[in-house]
Structure 1
């Protein structure tokens, strides 16, 4: 299941870089839960060709992520934003200059990435 979620995240991030047919094939597999036979029938290809296309899509998406690393960058940004939210929440308990400086630095770091 973990691989399925990763493939979904990769497709969300880099799917537009695939060909139209690859996108359609992967959407049927990921979002509509179609079998290889159903995908093959819809695309007028063999079951083996549908399998090969899905496999090539996964390899292609992994290559894009290896080069661009957008998933990790997004994960890092999300963690930073959660940290900022925690800092802001702690300010509700009282005004703290160090916390404000910490928030300011984190926001500046996010803007520079």
Structure 2
């Protein structure tokens, strides 16, 4: 997975465990696509300070994921849900029983909300 996407996802999951400043700067850098210079200017700090905050924030997020594995579990669950939805579609395509089709359609709608 691309680093920018991974860090952005980790911010969504663990962002509340970072300092307000770390979360703000990581969000500006990864989600708002601001440069180190722009972030430094907005926060009235040096580019090096921005870089240090980003590095510390990234390390904290990676450490949390390494210990808690929330993102990994979420991705596995999403993959499993996609597989189940695919299987439901196959069953529905081959079924001629309207009652079963109705039940499968309802189950698919409920599961789709989780993806």
**Fold-level similarity (TM above 0.5):** yes
The equivalent of 1:84 in structure 2 is 84
- List structure 1 runs of 4+ shifted beyond 3 angstroms: none
Distance across 1 between alignment mates of 2:30 and 2:11 = 9
| Corresponding residue pairs, total | 98
Superposed, 1:26-37 pairs within 5 Å as 26-37=26-37
TM norm structure 2: 0.77
2:44 counterpart of 1:44:
yes
- What RMSD, in angstroms, separates the aligned Cα atoms of the two structures? 2.1
What is the Cα deviation at residue 4 of structure 1?
1.1
What is the Cα deviation at residue 42 of structure 1?
1.2
Per-residue displacement from partner, 1:3-50 (whole Å, max 9, x unpaired)?
Answer: 111111111111121111111111110121111111111112111000
> Any unmatched runs of 5+ in structure 2?
97-103
TM norm structure 1: 0.78
> Any unmatched runs of 5+ in structure 1?
108-113
Distance across 1 between alignment mates of 2:31 and 2:66 = 24
